[in-house]
């Protein structure tokens, strides 16, 4: 029989061997980092992590986020050795392995469940898609905030329904990235004592030893934030690691940073170089390293039976006991609090309450109208009262984005009030989006907001929400040069085109208050797509729908808002947002000249592209080639709708600092300009025919 200490060493070294073999087989990847931090990860999983491999999605499991995603072989080894089960997209546990031995052998190959970096939804047991450094730790802050919110809403005496912890494994690169600093500051302010970041301090990045770039005192920085900081001097000392994790468990006021001093390929005869960090060791290097660790040097993917058995007795048994105990408790909870239990089950299935949209407003026609940020704020407040787990806030801009929840009981989410619905993210756009992602990963319906121009600060996290297929709502106001005298630094031009280019995300720019309502109705019903809602600061008339198409057609992405009186249109006027109103006025001017113009509102290109070809051709008849698109943004992308004979009235430069009406005249966003463009394209098409 193998002694416990020796068995632990065998398990750790087996993980190291698998990491080397995966990278060597793929001839690609990062072997050093997963090898140096293997003892820390093994100790966490075997002694502390409440995670049931047979049901990797039970709601109260601890979350483990591999923020240094380049060390993915470490996670693949842990998921395989623990026999973690796969889960289907509808959240059913299948029982088949999430990571098979064949997956390990096809690391980084097409179709393998062991991709180069962890991918949420693709591999069960992955809590977040990571790889861009700093994103994982930032999302972990959202997860920890979500746990505290869930506990505040649902826990009752003798019913600790939600008390899970969140662990994130970070590297030197994560500590350098600004998003991690933003998130760490927010975590300390929130007092997230359920959050533990483990900093793998191996002092090596791709370019070499980090002394060439990074000489700050990380411990002092986090102490200044207000974190509990613990140091483990030797990454191979499991007892020191356990003490550090016990320190985290005992902390009740602050998040914890455990700094683990490690060495790339610790103990390996392979030289500590950037190549050892970012490339395979080579056949001989692998053999030498395996010999050093007492592993069979000529065998690949060698896993002794006792290693599987050890994981089954460790994380497997402890996780199974924790889950079954929780499920028995939840059965009693369901009897005592059936309504709350129903909410929890709906949250887990990403479902909404019955009748959640019944109270949505319908705005009367109004020539003066109101800004779409105003109608959005009103709509959001109605929805949030119907969907108790809809929460969010702004990056310090809620008085401008109007995303504050104002109804009685909404409250602020703070350290002393973790059940509040309004989140003050501070001037931290990147972290705001990342934290919203983390909350969504725990199945809450999260939103955040800011000025549209500052979506650039948050873009990496917005991209990850699309890649992970999670329904975060990114709300942006001040949508165009309509910002006026704030000038080009605050006037978004290329942002719409940029976000439309991103796969898997829906970008909405509604034209009036009722399109805003229908946008929110569409967005909140989504289960797997994030959305961007782009709103105006200036007032937009509320359209009289008695002689126009209903706003409910927003769900189709684009629709014929107002058609010609009789027969086939001569020209199509396509627009979004405030420019829809320009198109309507231009239509009337053209009609007086005997030109029949159809106005098409296109609030969401992505939804329109999902419609059947028949519908798209009905809205944009291929035979009508005289087309004008109008949008106060870059013209990039509109050619797909106007074709080579159409005209785009858009932005071709940055904006300028001036009153709105002067800007509209300067850049051609007037009724006269749109009508002129229509005549121009109509004449060109008649000449071409």
Which residues are part of the catalytic machinery? 429
Are 439 and 143 spatial neighbours (Cβ–Cβ below 8 Å)? yes
Are 15 and 77 spatial neighbours (Cβ–Cβ below 8 Å)? yes
Q: Which of 481, 487, 374, 502 is nearest to 433 (CA)?
A: 502
The whole-angstrom separation of Cα 532 and Cα 287 is 51
Query: How do strand 366-371 and strand 539-542 relate by DSSP bridges?
Result: antiparallel
Burial of 136 (0-12, 13-18, 19+ CB in 10 A): buried
The whole-angstrom separation of Cα 128 and Cα 105 is 23
Q: Which of 637, 641, 636, 629 is nearest to 668 (CA)?
A: 629
| Cα dist from 215 to 209, 211, 367, 431, whole Å | 11, 6, 60, 24
Q: For the residues of 25-79, what is the DSSP string, one character each?
A: HHT-S--HHHHHHHHHHHHIIIII----TTSTT-TTPPEEEESSGGGHHHHHHHH
The whole-angstrom separation of Cα 507 and Cα 77 is 38
Angle (CA) 625-629-632 rounded to 5° is: 170
Query: How do strand 571-575 and strand 539-542 relate by DSSP bridges?
Result: unpaired
Instruction: Point out which residues pair with 628 in neighbouring strands.
Output: 573, 647
In degrees and rounded to multiples of 5, residue 251 shows phi and psi of -80, 130
The whole-angstrom separation of Cα 358 and Cα 587 is 35
Tokens of 325: 């105990």
3-state secondary structure 93-110: EEEEECCCHHHHHCCCCC
Tokens of 494: 């290329």
The whole-angstrom separation of Cα 623 and Cα 645 is 12
The whole-angstrom separation of Cα 91 and Cα 79 is 18
Secondary structure letter of residue 393 according to DSSP: E
3-state secondary structure 299-323: CCCCCCHHHHHHHHHHHHHHHHHHH
3-state secondary structure 327-340: HHHHHHHHHHCHHH
The SS3 assignment for 480 reads coil
3-state secondary structure 611-637: CCHHHHHHHCCCCCCCEEEEEEEECCC
| Cα dist from 240 to 219, 248, 524, whole Å | 17, 13, 47
Q: Which residues contact 175 (CB under 8 A, 6 or more apart)?
A: 199, 214, 218
Q: For the residues of 325-383, what is the DSSP string, one character each?
A: HHHHHHHHHHHH-HHHHHHHHHHHTT---TTTTTT---PPPEEEEEEHHHHHHHHHHHH
Count Cβ atoms below 10 Å from residue 618 Cβ, excluding itself: 12
Q: Is 668 left (phi over 0), alpha (psi -120 to 50) or beta?
A: left
Secondary structure letter of residue 284 according to DSSP: H
Burial of 332 (0-12, 13-18, 19+ CB in 10 A): exposed
Q: Which residues contact 275 (CB under 8 A, 6 or more apart)?
A: none
């Amino acid at each position: 029989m193998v002694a416990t200490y020796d068995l632990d060493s065998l398990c750790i070294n087996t993980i190291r061997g698998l990491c080397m073999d995966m990278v060597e087989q793929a001839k690609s990847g990062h072997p050093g980092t997963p090898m140096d931090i293997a003892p820390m990860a093994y100790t966490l999983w075997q002694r502390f992590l409440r995670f049931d491999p047979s049901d990797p999605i039970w709601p109260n499991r601890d979350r483990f986020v591999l923020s240094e995603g380049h060390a993915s072989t470490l996670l693949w080894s842990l998921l395989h050795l623990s026999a973690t089960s796969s889960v289907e997209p509808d959240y059913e546990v299948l029982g088949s392995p999430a990571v098979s031995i064949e997956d390990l052998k096809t690391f980084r190959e097409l179709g393998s469940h062991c991709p180069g970096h962890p991918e949420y939804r693709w591999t069960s047991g992955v809590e977040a898609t990571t790889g861009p450094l700093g994103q994982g730790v930032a999302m972990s802050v959202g997860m920890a905030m979500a746990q505290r919110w869930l506990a505040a809403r649902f826990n009752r005496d003798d019913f600790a329904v939600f008390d899970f912890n969140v662990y994130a494994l970070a590297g030197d690169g994560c500590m350098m990235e600004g998003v991690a600093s933003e998130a760490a500051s927010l975590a300390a302010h929130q007092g997230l004592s359920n959050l533990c970041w483990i900093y793998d301090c191996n002092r090596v990045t791709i370019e070499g030893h980090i002394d060439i770039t990074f000489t700050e005192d990380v411990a002092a920085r986090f102490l200044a934030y207000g974190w509990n900081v613990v140091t483990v001097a030797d990454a191979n000392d499991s007892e020191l690691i356990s003490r550090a994790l016990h320190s985290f468990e005992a902390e009740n006021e602050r998040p914890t940073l455990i700094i683990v001093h490690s060495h790339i390929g610790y103990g390996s005869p392979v030289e500590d170089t950037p190549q050892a960090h970012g490339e395979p060791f080579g056949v001989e290097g692998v053999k030498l390293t395996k010999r050093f660790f007492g592993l069979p040097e000529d065998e690949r993917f060698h896993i002794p039976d006792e290693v599987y058995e050890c994981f089954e007795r460790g994380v497997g048994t402890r996780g199974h006991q924790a889950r079954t105990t929780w499920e028995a408790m939840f059965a009693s909870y369901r009897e005592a609090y059936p309504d709350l239990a129903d909410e929890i089950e709906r949250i887990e299935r990403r479902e909404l309450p019955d009748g959640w949209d019944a109270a949505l407003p319908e705005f009367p026609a109004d020539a003066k109208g109101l800004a779409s940020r105003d109608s959005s704020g009103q709509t959001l407040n109605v929805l949030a009262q119907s969907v108790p787990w809809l929460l969010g806030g702004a990056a310090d801009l809620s008085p401008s984005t109007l995303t504050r929840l104002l109804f009685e009981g909404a409250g602020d989410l703070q350290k002393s009030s973790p059940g509040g619905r309004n989140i003050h993210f501070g001037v931290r756009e990147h972290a705001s989006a990342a934290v919203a992602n983390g909350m969504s990963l725990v199945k809450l319906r999260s939103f955040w907001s800011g000025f549209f121009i500052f979506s650039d600060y948050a873009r990496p996290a917005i991209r990850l929400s699309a890649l992970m297929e999670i329904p975060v709502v990114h709300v942006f106001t001040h949508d165009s040069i309509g910002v006026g005298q704030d000038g080009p630094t605050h006037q978004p031009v290329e942002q719409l085109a940029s976000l439309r280019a991103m796969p898997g995300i829906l970008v909405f720019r509604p034209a009036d208050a009722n399109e805003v309502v229908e946008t929110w109705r569409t967005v909140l019903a989504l289960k797997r797509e994030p959305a961007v809602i782009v709103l105006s600061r200036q007032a937009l008339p509320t359209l009289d729908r008695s002689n126009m198409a209903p706003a409910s057609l927003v769900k189709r992405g684009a629709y014929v808002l107002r058609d010609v009186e009789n027969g086939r249109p001569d020209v199509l006027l396509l627009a979004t947002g405030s420019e829809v109103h320009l198109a309507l006025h231009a239509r009337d001017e053209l009609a007086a000249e005997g030109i029949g113009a159809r106005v098409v509102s296109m609030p969401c290109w992505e939804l329109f592209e999902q419609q059947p070809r028949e519908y798209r051709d009905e809205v944009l008849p291929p035979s009508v080639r005289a087309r004008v698109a109008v949008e106060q943004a870059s013209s990039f992308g509109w050619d797909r709708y106007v074709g080579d004979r159409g005209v785009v009235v858009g932005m071709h430069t940055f904006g300028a600092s001036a009153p709105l009406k002067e800007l509209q005249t300067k850049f051609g966003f007037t009724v006269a300009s749109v009508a002129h463009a229509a005549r121009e394209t109509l004449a060109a098409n008649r000449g071409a025919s």
